Structure 1
Amino acid sequence: MFGDLSGMMHKLKETQQKVEETKTRLNTVLVDEVAADGKIKITLTANREIKAISIDPSLLSDAEELEDYLILTLNKAIEKATKINENEMAIAAKSGIPNIPGMDLFK
């Protein structure tokens, strides 16, 4: 019995390490989002850290328009990054979880 428990604990530690490695790797995965007309480009990591924002100078004269562009483009970029992050983290976590009937945590 304790052998199985020890093995499960080891497996959980391996999983935790894979999750941490995945978090670190996701810092290098860049997600780009460009506004429909190309006036704003945003780059962020899959961990949702903004790395760059490029703004067309024509938007600098109208603060309200600039804000609208930023909100729309940032939200799209964050949505993309979140999907990548959640998918990768689920794969990392699922790899070390034993197959226990009824415990489908990461589908």
Structure 2
Amino acid sequence: MFGDFMGMMGKLKETQEKVKATKERLNTVLIDESSSDGQVKVTITANREIKSITVDDSLLQDKEQLEDYLVLTLNKAIEKATNINETELAAVAKEGMPNIPGMDSLFK
């Protein structure tokens, strides 16, 4: 009985380490997103940290338009980053989970 428990605890610790390593790796995965006309470009990591924002000079004259472009473009980039992040972390978590009936549905 304790052997199974200790084995599960070891597996849990291993999975936690893999999750940590995956999060660190996701800091190096860059997502580039542009507005539809290319006037705003953003780069973020898969952990949703903004790395750069480039704005065309023509947008500097219209504050409202610039704000709209930034919101739309950043939201698209964040959505892509979130999808990558969740997919990667779910795969690591699922790999490390013991085979408990009914738990499969949590990671789909």
- TM-score, with structure 1 as normaliser: 0.98
Alignment of 1:1-107 (within 5 A): 1-104=1-104, 105-107=106-108
Q: CA deviation at 1:52?
A: 0.2
Any idea what SS the aligned residue of 1:32 has? Answer: strand
3-state secondary structure, aligned to 2:47: coil
CA RMSD of aligned residues (A): 0.5
Q: Is there any run of 5+ residues in structure 2 with no aligned partner, and where?
A: none
| Aligned positions, number | 107
Task: State the identity as a percent.
Answer: 72
Q: How far apart are residue 99 of structure 1 and its match?
A: 1.1
Please list every run of 5 or more consecutive structure 1 residues that lacks an aligned counterpart in the other structure: none
Deviates more, 1:35-44 or 1:95-104: 95-104
The aligned amino acid for 1:64 is E
- CA deviation after TM superposition for structure 1 residue 27, in Å: 0.2
Which has more helix, going by share of residues? 2
